[in-house]
Structures are given as C-alpha cells and as structure tokens.
Chain A
C-alpha cells in the first residue's frame, strides 16, 4: 500500500487492515517513522523511540490473528512528554527535569502497551503543561501543520498538548495521548482539526503523569476521528489503586455505542458561551452543527450557566496554587537539573539557584502567584474564595444537566493564531484562550472537541460537547453522528517535508 495513504488511516482503519493482514505492524510503523523523520520543521517529536517501536511492531506481527491479540495491537502512538515512560527521557518540556529517565511507567501508558500499542516517541508540549500555544516549551514551539490561506506565517498548534495535536494532524502517529488541566487537549484539537477528549475527572489514572494541578489534570486521547477516540479512551481508562482519585466505575465499550441514533437528545446552548463576532464562519459552523443535530431529532434547549464569567479567575487562583505545591518537589537534590554552586553556598542556594535556572518564565510566574494566594493573610481572600466559587460553577452545571443531556459550545474564541502574537506583554491575554474549556475542568466534567470545518482563513474550527459525569458514551455518540454528516477532512497541505 502507498505509504502516504497508509499513515492517513488512523487507529480503526489501521486495525482493520492489520487484522486482514493486508499490512503488517512493522510496515505501518516504518511508514510513521519515515513521516516523523521528515517532520523536523514541525518540532512535534522531541524524543524518538524507533528501536523500541520496531521491536514492539515485530512482536505485534507475531500475535495478530492469534488469541493473544489485544485491542491496540500494532497501532503506533505518540506520547505527550508529561507521561513518565520507563527508561525513556521524560522532561515535561522543562529544563528542571534535564535528562530525567523515569524508573517506572505511568499507568495510562502501561495500559496502552498492555493493549500492544507501539510507542513512536515523546511529544512536545508547553513546559509542565502550562501554556496555550506551546511557546513555553524548552524545546521551542511546535508548528501547526495548518497555515492560513496564502500565508507562510507559522501558527500555534495550541497548547499544552500541541505536539500531540500537530503529530496527529500531520500523520506522524495514528493517535496521541494528551492531558487537559484547563483545555490542553481540546484547544489544540480545535486548532489542528483533530478530535480531543478530556474524560471525567477520575476516568484515567493520573499515576506517573507529571502533576500540574491535581484536582484538574486528566489524560485523554487526541485522534483523527471520533471512533479512534472511543477506541483509545477505552484502553486508557479504568481504576488504578495507585491513584486514589481514579474511579471504581466500569469502563464501557465506547466503540459499541457510537452509532446509536440521537433522537430525543436534549442539547443545551448556553448564552454565556457565545462568540464575540456573531457574523463569522465560526458562528455559521456552530449553527450548522445545531441544524444537523435538530435534523437528527435532537431537541435544542437554551440554558444558562450564570457563573461562567468567574471560571477563568477561579482557575487562575486554584491551578497555580496546586502547581506551586506540586512543583515544590523540584529541588535539584535527587534528579534533573542542579545549579553549579559557589564554595560557601548552602542548601538554600542549591534550591533557589536550581529552581531559578530550571523553570521557565511562565512556570515561575504560576509558582509565584500560587504561593501568593496560599500565603498567610491572602489564603481566605483568594484560595478559599475560589474554592467556593468553584462549587457555584459546578452547581450551575448540575442545574443545567437536569434539563439537558449535553451542552454544545465553541471550543475556542478563535482559530489558531500566529506564534508570538499573544501574551508577550500581558500573560492574562493568553489565559483568555481557555475561556470555553476551563469550566469543564473546574466541574470535573467530560468534554470533547470535534472539528466542524474551516474558517475564513482556511483554518480548522472545533465545537465542544460537554457532558455530565461519566457520559463519555453520549459525548462520543453525539460527536460520531455529527462527524458523519459534517464530513470534515483533515488534510493540511504538506509543506514541512
């Protein structure tokens, strides 16, 4: 089979061809390796594990068609650099984890290998997943495979899972893992024409995923289509005794439930999630999605989430607070970067110099603000208050889910923006990007971004579906029905090879 076409297939179609023995896992893996080798301009893969991949592929080829074959047998994946992978350099795109080699494997990636998936390598991201444009990575930004019509300007692939979204859009892997603390799976998916799913908090184990904000962080898949998302989510999900917040709730067969009709589905539209420019292609695409859902027998219901305007300020108190605590462990003592010390330096200089040299500007900013809102005299005014507002935001969703089954919103305020164009003068400008995605993290709810078409600039646009807890099957089912009618094709012009 033609290698260019082979790598356009995604998870389900590759699986089907592997099962029919029309291709081998080794052949498939080699095709992806070639694509990755040609993609250095995108800067998506920061650590390549090709020897490991070819060994896994060879093993996969031996079990395909036998009773030992598992659900992802022979499927080549990319892994966000936030996941610890045993004996593979893992740095969360930060200097402070310089040359860190984990002696253990994250639960989510271990589950993928147990299902016989193939690891192509580690994917670039914002440092410690703190960013919305991939520009805070120590490896430099990932470049979006998509470009505006008639322009050569490099665009952001979104963040923080920008390496994952770019790699999937550019056919460098069948699918990729991402993590989402405030939108880090859905916003990059929206910017690259891919499908990104943030599961319910507790669906995927966080063990072995480098922590940013523990009460928000969730792992999830970024894939070429909804079916692939269902397949990958199933493999990633499930209870883990090593993560006390992972849920003891059975994992459904998401793929089985995709094709159900959505007649009678109640879809909520929240006025607080409207786009500023009503007369835009983004708005027309949203209207089109609503029309499709109506035609399929869904009922559209106007709803209100009155505390939405407080979501971002709440997030930017709580997430940095948790980050300042989580990142306290990087002290230069046991692993990663250690500053060169002067003769008389004490342990305090070891900590301060190491952390000053090892963390980037945005990460330091968040540690400092997090320390501030937790510090004596400010805790009640900021942290405690934000925790209460978080309850109000969750209550808004609880009320709305009494009336509707699912909420439909835009994923992002705009399509992908040029690198270097946001947040250089004011960090808050960059934070505004997460305005539609952050509420689902605050409430712990599952949410999915689905590509719906291109805007005036020829760039992908996404819509977001938010569901109630554990309603991933309904999100995927609704997205699958929309996807079938929309017929979006992810085919950015290949300028990078």
Chain B
C-alpha cells in the first residue's frame, strides 16, 4: 500500500484535520483505494504535453486594480460569537 499509517497522519496534519487512532485504518484503506484508482494515469505517455489551461487571459479583460470600500463589518461579525469589538478572537497565539 502506497499510503502507510505515518503518511495518513502526516497528510491529516497538513490538512489540519484531526484523526483518531481508531479511525485511521478505515481512512488509510479508502485513501489507498483512491490512489490505486488514479494510478491508471501512470499508463499514459505525457511527454511534450502541456498542462491544461482554458486559454490566455487578456490583460485588458482584467478588472481595474482599484480600492473598493466594504462597509458592513457588523454584518460579517454577525456570523461569529467569538469577537471583541471589531475583531475575531482566537486562542492565545503569542506567549
């Protein structure tokens, strides 16, 4: 199996998703099934093929790089209970 237990915990850490010991086996099995499935891509010759893109972006189609004023801080803060004045609060991050 390509993805071992250690790798499962490593990618969980990178993903900021906590995984318990008792669920890691099932997750490992599922991830390996998916990896086995997508390994088919290894069968194909990709020499000289460019990575996909939707075409070139015209610079004149881009939005003006200008300041827009967004005034509804209160509306945004309505979505959290964890606030202090106009700020979100989180656990202490500086000792």
Give A residues with C-beta under 8 Å from B: 99-101, 103, 201-202, 215, 241, 244-245, 248, 307, 309-310, 312-314, 316-317, 324, 328, 331, 333-336, 338, 341, 345-353, 355-356, 359, 364-365, 367-369, 371-373, 375, 381-382, 384-392, 394, 426-428, 431, 442, 444
A346 touches B31 (CB 8 A): no
Contact of A334 among B44, B79, B92 (CB under 8 A): B79
Contact of A103 among B15, B17, B76, B82 (CB under 8 A): B76
**A338-B82, A375-B14, A427-B34 are known contacts. Are A388 and B50 too (CB-CB below 8 A)?**
yes
Name B77's closest neighbour in chain A (CB-CB).
Answer: A334
How many angstroms between the C-alpha atoms of A317 and B92 in the bound complex? 37
CB neighbours (8 Å) of A335 from chain B are 79-80
**A244-B57, A391-B49 are known contacts. Are A346 and B40 too (CB-CB below 8 A)?**
no
Considering residues A201, A245, A314, A371, which has the most beta carbons from chain B within 10 angstroms of its beta carbon?
Answer: A371
Task: Give B28-70 interface residues, CB cut-off 8 Å to A.
Answer: 30-31, 33-35, 37-42, 44, 46, 49-52, 54, 57, 61-63
Per-position 1/0 for B66-89, Cβ under 8 A of A: 000000100110111010000010
CB neighbours (8 Å) of A353 from chain B are 18
How many angstroms between the C-alpha atoms of A428 and B35 in the bound complex? 10
B75 touches A313 (CB 8 A): no
Contact of A389 among B15, B44, B75 (CB under 8 A): B44
B31 touches A372 (CB 8 A): yes
Contact of A356 among B18, B38, B40 (CB under 8 A): B18
**A368-B11, A388-B49 are known contacts. Are A444 and B54 too (CB-CB below 8 A)?**
yes
How many angstroms between the C-alpha atoms of A381 and B93 in the bound complex? 37
List 26 interface pairs A-B (beta carbons < 8 Å), by A numbering: A101-B79, A103-B75, A103-B78, A202-B54, A314-B41, A317-B38, A333-B80, A333-B82, A333-B88, A334-B76, A334-B80, A334-B88, A338-B82, A347-B93, A352-B16, A364-B15, A365-B27, A365-B34, A368-B12, A371-B15, A372-B11, A375-B11, A387-B52, A389-B41, A427-B34, A431-B37
Task: Give B1-21 interface residues, CB cut-off 8 Å to A.
Answer: 3, 7-8, 11-12, 14-19
**A314-B41, A387-B51 are known contacts. Are A101 and B78 too (CB-CB below 8 A)?**
yes
Shortest C-beta distance, A399 to chain B (Å), equals: 14
Name A99's closest neighbour in chain B (CB-CB).
Answer: B79
How many angstroms between the C-alpha atoms of A364 and B14 in the bound complex? 12
CB neighbours (8 Å) of A307 from chain B are 44
Considering residues B33, B92, B93, which has the most beta carbons from chain A within 10 angstroms of its beta carbon?
Answer: B33
B27 touches A310 (CB 8 A): no
A426 touches B33 (CB 8 A): yes
CB neighbours (8 Å) of A431 from chain B are 37
A103 touches B72 (CB 8 A): yes
A385 touches B41 (CB 8 A): yes
Name B36's closest neighbour in chain A (CB-CB).
Answer: A428
How many angstroms between the C-alpha atoms of A382 and B17 in the bound complex? 22
Give B residues with C-beta under 8 Å from A: 3, 7-8, 11-12, 14-19, 27, 30-31, 33-35, 37-42, 44, 46, 49-52, 54, 57, 61-63, 72, 75-76, 78-80, 82, 88, 90-93
How many angstroms between the C-alpha atoms of A387 and B53 in the bound complex? 9
CB neighbours (8 Å) of B76 from chain A are 103, 334
Contact of A352 among B18, B39, B82 (CB under 8 A): B18
CB neighbours (8 Å) of B61 from chain A are 248
How many angstroms between the C-alpha atoms of A380 and B50 in the bound complex? 13
How many angstroms between the C-alpha atoms of A382 and B57 in the bound complex? 26
How many angstroms between the C-alpha atoms of A196 and B21 in the bound complex? 43
CB neighbours (8 Å) of A392 from chain B are 44, 46, 49
How many angstroms between the C-alpha atoms of A389 and B75 in the bound complex? 44
A350 touches B52 (CB 8 A): no
Name B76's closest neighbour in chain A (CB-CB).
Answer: A103
B30 touches A391 (CB 8 A): no
B91 touches A386 (CB 8 A): no
Taking A349-B91, A386-B41, A387-B51 as known contacts, 9 extra A-B pairs with beta carbons closer than 8 A to each other, sorted by chain A number, are: A345-B91, A356-B17, A365-B34, A368-B31, A372-B31, A388-B46, A427-B30, A428-B34, A428-B37
CB neighbours (8 Å) of A248 from chain B are 61
A313 touches B37 (CB 8 A): yes
